[in-house]
Amino acid sequence: MDDIHVLWERCRSFHGHTCGGLLTGFLAALYASQLLGLHAGSDEGIVCISENDACGVDAIQVVLGCTVGRGSLLFHMTGKQAYSFYSRESGKSARLVLAGKVPDLGDMDITSYLEMYRPADFFTVKETRLEVPERARIFASYACERCGEVAGERWMHMQDGHMLCQDCYHDYDRFHV
Protein backbone atom coordinates (compact mmCIF):
# COMPACT_ATOMS: atom_id res chain seq x y z
CA MET A 1 0.00 0.00 0.00
CA ASP A 2 1.17 3.53 -0.71
CA ASP A 3 2.77 5.59 2.00
CA ILE A 4 -0.04 6.57 4.39
CA HIS A 5 0.60 10.30 4.04
CA VAL A 6 0.49 10.11 0.22
CA LEU A 7 -2.64 7.97 0.34
CA TRP A 8 -4.38 10.41 2.69
CA GLU A 9 -3.44 13.35 0.47
CA ARG A 10 -4.88 11.50 -2.56
CA CYS A 11 -8.14 11.00 -0.60
CA ARG A 12 -8.30 14.67 0.39
CA SER A 13 -7.61 15.77 -3.16
CA PHE A 14 -10.24 13.42 -4.62
CA HIS A 15 -12.87 14.45 -2.05
CA GLY A 16 -12.04 18.16 -2.13
CA HIS A 17 -11.61 18.79 1.58
CA THR A 18 -10.87 17.17 4.93
CA CYS A 19 -13.81 16.09 7.07
CA GLY A 20 -14.75 13.49 9.66
CA GLY A 21 -16.63 11.41 7.11
CA LEU A 22 -13.63 11.15 4.81
CA LEU A 23 -11.48 10.14 7.79
CA THR A 24 -14.04 7.48 8.76
CA GLY A 25 -13.95 5.93 5.29
CA PHE A 26 -10.16 6.12 5.23
CA LEU A 27 -9.91 4.27 8.55
CA ALA A 28 -12.47 1.67 7.41
CA ALA A 29 -10.50 1.02 4.19
CA LEU A 30 -7.23 0.69 6.12
CA TYR A 31 -8.82 -1.67 8.62
CA ALA A 32 -10.42 -3.80 5.90
CA SER A 33 -7.05 -4.00 4.14
CA GLN A 34 -5.45 -5.22 7.34
CA LEU A 35 -8.19 -7.72 8.21
CA LEU A 36 -8.61 -9.23 4.75
CA GLY A 37 -5.15 -8.70 3.25
CA LEU A 38 -6.55 -6.45 0.51
CA HIS A 39 -4.41 -4.76 -2.14
CA ALA A 40 -5.99 -2.25 -4.51
CA GLY A 41 -5.70 -2.77 -8.22
CA SER A 42 -7.59 -5.82 -9.36
CA ASP A 43 -10.65 -5.20 -11.52
CA GLU A 44 -13.37 -6.59 -9.25
CA GLY A 45 -11.16 -8.47 -6.81
CA ILE A 46 -12.18 -6.24 -3.93
CA VAL A 47 -15.85 -5.41 -3.49
CA CYS A 48 -17.32 -2.91 -1.05
CA ILE A 49 -21.00 -2.66 -0.24
CA SER A 50 -21.54 0.65 1.50
CA GLU A 51 -24.65 1.21 3.58
CA ASN A 52 -24.45 4.98 3.05
CA ASP A 53 -23.54 7.44 0.33
CA ALA A 54 -21.58 9.81 2.57
CA CYS A 55 -18.06 11.24 2.38
CA GLY A 56 -16.27 8.08 3.53
CA VAL A 57 -17.12 6.32 0.28
CA ASP A 58 -14.67 8.62 -1.53
CA ALA A 59 -11.80 7.40 0.66
CA ILE A 60 -12.76 3.76 0.01
CA GLN A 61 -12.62 4.41 -3.73
CA VAL A 62 -9.12 5.90 -3.48
CA VAL A 63 -7.62 3.46 -0.97
CA LEU A 64 -9.07 0.21 -2.33
CA GLY A 65 -9.87 1.11 -5.93
CA CYS A 66 -13.53 0.12 -5.62
CA THR A 67 -15.71 2.00 -8.11
CA VAL A 68 -19.33 1.97 -9.22
CA GLY A 69 -18.33 1.76 -12.88
CA ARG A 70 -16.31 -1.42 -12.35
CA GLY A 71 -19.05 -3.01 -10.28
CA SER A 72 -16.87 -3.19 -7.19
CA LEU A 73 -18.63 -0.44 -5.20
CA LEU A 74 -22.29 -1.07 -4.49
CA PHE A 75 -24.83 0.55 -2.20
CA HIS A 76 -27.26 -1.14 0.16
CA MET A 77 -28.73 1.99 1.71
CA THR A 78 -29.49 1.63 5.41
CA GLY A 79 -28.13 5.03 6.49
CA LYS A 80 -25.59 3.30 8.73
CA GLN A 81 -21.87 3.98 8.81
CA ALA A 82 -21.25 0.36 7.84
CA TYR A 83 -19.23 -1.17 5.04
CA SER A 84 -18.97 -4.78 3.90
CA PHE A 85 -15.70 -5.69 2.23
CA TYR A 86 -15.11 -8.82 0.18
CA SER A 87 -11.97 -10.36 -1.29
CA ARG A 88 -12.89 -12.48 -4.29
CA GLU A 89 -9.40 -13.97 -4.27
CA SER A 90 -9.41 -15.30 -0.70
CA GLY A 91 -13.17 -15.59 -0.20
CA LYS A 92 -12.85 -13.61 3.04
CA SER A 93 -15.23 -10.84 4.00
CA ALA A 94 -15.99 -8.53 6.92
CA ARG A 95 -18.63 -5.96 7.75
CA LEU A 96 -17.24 -2.93 9.59
CA VAL A 97 -19.76 -0.95 11.61
CA LEU A 98 -18.76 2.38 13.12
CA ALA A 99 -18.93 1.94 16.88
CA GLY A 100 -18.62 5.60 17.88
CA LYS A 101 -17.50 8.98 16.68
CA VAL A 102 -14.07 9.12 15.08
CA PRO A 103 -11.98 11.87 16.75
CA ASP A 104 -11.18 14.80 14.47
CA LEU A 105 -7.81 14.99 12.82
CA GLY A 106 -7.37 18.58 13.98
CA ASP A 107 -3.86 19.89 13.33
CA MET A 108 -2.28 16.42 13.35
CA ASP A 109 -0.94 14.88 10.20
CA ILE A 110 -2.33 11.45 9.34
CA THR A 111 0.81 9.60 10.46
CA SER A 112 0.66 11.14 13.94
CA TYR A 113 -3.06 10.46 14.08
CA LEU A 114 -2.51 6.77 13.28
CA GLU A 115 0.18 6.58 15.98
CA MET A 116 -2.43 7.78 18.48
CA TYR A 117 -5.48 5.92 17.17
CA ARG A 118 -5.89 2.57 15.46
CA PRO A 119 -8.69 1.96 12.93
CA ALA A 120 -9.72 -1.07 15.03
CA ASP A 121 -10.62 1.34 17.85
CA PHE A 122 -13.62 2.68 15.94
CA PHE A 123 -15.26 -0.28 14.22
CA THR A 124 -17.07 -3.40 15.29
CA VAL A 125 -16.22 -6.31 12.99
CA LYS A 126 -19.22 -8.43 12.05
CA GLU A 127 -20.02 -11.12 9.53
CA THR A 128 -21.26 -9.80 6.22
CA ARG A 129 -25.04 -9.95 5.78
CA LEU A 130 -25.03 -10.17 2.00
CA GLU A 131 -23.32 -12.65 -0.28
CA VAL A 132 -20.52 -11.31 -2.43
CA PRO A 133 -22.27 -9.94 -5.51
CA GLU A 134 -21.72 -11.59 -8.86
CA ARG A 135 -19.35 -9.84 -11.22
CA ALA A 136 -20.82 -7.04 -13.32
CA ARG A 137 -22.62 -8.13 -16.47
CA ILE A 138 -22.82 -6.43 -19.81
CA PHE A 139 -26.37 -6.23 -21.15
CA ALA A 140 -27.65 -5.75 -24.69
CA SER A 141 -29.10 -2.29 -25.28
CA TYR A 142 -32.40 -1.36 -26.88
CA ALA A 143 -34.08 1.89 -27.88
CA CYS A 144 -37.28 2.76 -26.07
CA GLU A 145 -40.17 2.75 -28.51
CA ARG A 146 -41.66 5.87 -26.89
CA CYS A 147 -38.76 8.28 -26.16
CA GLY A 148 -36.07 6.72 -28.37
CA GLU A 149 -33.44 6.68 -25.62
CA VAL A 150 -31.27 3.56 -25.30
CA ALA A 151 -31.12 1.48 -22.13
CA GLY A 152 -29.80 -1.93 -21.11
CA GLU A 153 -32.22 -4.83 -21.57
CA ARG A 154 -32.33 -5.43 -17.81
CA TRP A 155 -34.08 -2.08 -17.42
CA MET A 156 -36.51 -2.34 -20.32
CA HIS A 157 -40.18 -3.37 -19.95
CA MET A 158 -42.83 -4.68 -22.32
CA GLN A 159 -46.09 -2.75 -22.12
CA ASP A 160 -48.95 -2.98 -24.57
CA GLY A 161 -46.62 -4.68 -27.07
CA HIS A 162 -43.96 -1.95 -26.88
CA MET A 163 -40.44 -2.09 -25.44
CA LEU A 164 -40.24 0.84 -22.99
CA CYS A 165 -37.54 2.26 -20.74
CA GLN A 166 -38.18 2.71 -17.02
CA ASP A 167 -39.06 6.39 -17.47
CA CYS A 168 -41.76 5.66 -20.05
CA TYR A 169 -43.09 2.46 -18.48
CA HIS A 170 -46.05 2.83 -16.13
CA ASP A 171 -46.27 0.01 -13.63
CA TYR A 172 -49.66 -1.54 -13.07
CA ASP A 173 -50.69 -1.34 -9.44
CA ARG A 174 -54.37 -1.18 -8.58
CA PHE A 175 -53.67 0.09 -5.09
CA HIS A 176 -51.43 3.06 -5.98
CA VAL A 177 -53.01 4.85 -8.91
**In angstroms, what CA-CA distances link 35 with 68, 92, 147?**
23, 9, 49
Mean pLDDT of 158-167: 95
Same domain, 104 and 155: no
User: How large is the average pLDDT for residues 139-144?
Assistant: 95
Residue 161, CB-side half-sphere exposure with 13 Å CA sphere: 0
pTM (2 decimals)? 0.83
Query: What mean pLDDT value characterizes the chain?
Result: 93
* Radius of gyration of the chain, Cα coordinates, nearest whole angstrom: 20
Domain containing 144 — which CATH number? 3.30.60
- Domain match, 156 and 122 both: no
Q: Which domain holds residue 34?
A: 4-126
Query: In whole angstroms, what separates CA 150 from the centre of its chain?
Result: 26
Residue 145, in any domain of the structure: yes
Structure confidence at residue 22 (pLDDT): 97
Same domain, 122 and 141: no
In a domain, 91, yes or no: yes
**Do the domain assignments include residue 64?**
yes
Q: Same domain, yes or no, for 119 and 141?
A: no
Q: 155 and 99, same structural domain?
A: no
Nearest to 77 by CA among 122, 130, 116, 9: 130
Exposure string for 95-132, b = 16+ CB within 10 A, e = fewer = bbbbeeebeebeeeebeebbeebebeebbeeeebeeeb
Q: CA nearest 55: which of 102, 1, 117? A: 102
The total of structural domains in the chain comes to 2
Domain shared by 71 and 143, yes or no: no
Mean pLDDT of 47-61: 97
Decide if 177 is inside a domain.
no
For the residues 73-96, what does the mean pLDDT come to?
96
Q: Same domain, yes or no, for 8 and 43?
A: yes
